[in-house]
Every structure is written in C-alpha cells, then in structure tokens.
Amino acid sequence: MRLAQGIVIDKEKTFGLLKFSALRREVFLQNEDGTVSSEVKERTYDLKSREQGRMIQVSIPASVPLKEFDYNAEVDIINPVANTVANATFRGADVDWYVKADDFVLKGKTASTAGNTQKPAPDKDK
C-alpha cells in the first residue's frame, strides 16, 4: 500500500538543521531480462537531522549529479516528500517510511549553483 501523493513535509519543523554524512547506496535500473543494468535510477544519502535526533536517508534522482560534500556540511533539502510501503504480515502489516526529494544543496546556495562544488581558481593577476 502506498500513499497516492506522499506527505509534503515542512522541512524546518520536521528535520531542523540537516548535515551531510555520506552516500548510502545507488539503486540501478533493471534490464528487460531482470538483470541489473549499469544505469543508476536514484541515489540515497545519509543526512543528520537535528530535529529527528538521528540519521535520515533521503533519495534523489540520478539525474542530479553525485553529491560529494564535506562531512557535516549544512545542507538544505529541496521539495521533500515522505511516503510509506506496507507489507502484510500474519499480525497485520509492517510499514516502512522513506523520504524522497528533488535535490539537496549546500545551505545558502541555490539549486542552480549547488552542483558546482569546486573552489574558484586563484586570480593569477595578483
């Protein structure tokens, strides 16, 4: 069972301060024969959430470039949505929550400039 549109999240109240930890896993597409392809579908990252008091996993589409931020860098999540997957058991159901987002960026940067994590080249004229 899935929620049709997911639950839109008030990110400040739900997560509070978010800090980057690491890439957790990559999910790959499947070929027509059921084997795993080399094409990445989405990436899941570990982010530390002050409000939750624990690490959360956030999945973003593979079309977003790989995130390689410094450990504990403050990040801002873009359009987070929570959803569930329920599996029937003999005693009812087990429910797992997951969070997907369009992207996350370094705090204080916009989505259009966040993909560039390189430092600017030093000015040679000085």
Tell me, yes or no, whether 123 lies in a domain.
no
Degrees to nearest 5, angle at CA 43 with 8 and 1: 50
Tell me, yes or no, whether 35 lies in a domain.
yes
pLDDT exceeds cutoff 70 at 5: no
Tell me, yes or no, whether 119 lies in a domain.
no
Q: Model confidence at 3, in pLDDT bands (50, 70, 90)? A: low
Tell me, yes or no, whether 18 lies in a domain.
yes
Q: How many CB atoms lie within 10 A of CB 100?
A: 16
Q: Model confidence at 123, in pLDDT bands (50, 70, 90)? A: very low
Q: Model confidence at 10, in pLDDT bands (50, 70, 90)? A: confident
Q: Please list, in sequence order, all residues whose beta carbon lies within 8 angstroms of the beta carbon of residue 19, skipping any fewer than 6 positions away.
A: 47, 48, 50, 72, 73, 74, 75
The sign of the dihedral angle between the CA atoms of 34, 35, 41, 44 is positive
* pLDDT tens per residue, range 13-51: 999 999 999 999 999 999 999 899 999 999 999 999 999
CATH code of the domain containing 18: 2.40.50.390
| Higher pLDDT pick, 4 / 85 | 85
E-state strands within 31-90: 36-49, 54-61, 74-78, 81-89
The total number of structural domains in the chain stands at: 1
Rounded Cα gap, residues 73 and 107, in angstroms: 8
Tell me, yes or no, whether 2 lies in a domain.
no
Tell me, yes or no, whether 100 lies in a domain.
yes
